[in-house]
Amino acid sequence: MMINCETTTLLDDLQKVSDVRSQIANYLDEMIKTLEKGESMGENLSGKLELSQYIDDLEKIGSNLKNGIFLLLVLGDMKRGKSTFLNALLG
């Protein structure tokens, strides 16, 4: 019975991570729109701001987040459950 509680909690936590990942991707989309607007306004007023590389980077990061591609770093002392966590995460 205890395993079901821990599994349910882990699944709930993973769902929260997924939700936050989606929120971050949405915030990145808003940042991209703001940078594109700034680039356009800057070009009209005083010259190009050269934000295209930043925009491209944010688009790539946002796309990866939406598709579930991200880096995960697991740190901890020896014998603290890092491998157990990763095994549970990967199924």
Mean pLDDT by 10 residues, the chain (91 residues): 60 85 93 93 79 93 88 89 86 71
- 19 and 52 Cβ atoms separated by less than 8 Å: no
Calpha distance 43→76 (Å, rounded): 48
- Residue 9 placed within a domain: yes
- Residue 86 placed within a domain: no
Count: domains in the chain: 1
Q: What is the pLDDT of residues 1-24, one digit of tens each?
A: 445 556 678 778 888 888 888 899
DSSP string, 28-62: HHHHHHHHHHHHHHHHHHT-----HHHHHHHHHHH
Calpha distance 75→11 (Å, rounded): 20
Owning domain of residue 7: 2-68
**What's the whole-model pTM score?**
0.64
- Residue 89 placed within a domain: no
- Residue 77 placed within a domain: no
Buried b (16+ CB within 10 A) or exposed e, 18-36: eeeeeeebeebeeebeebe
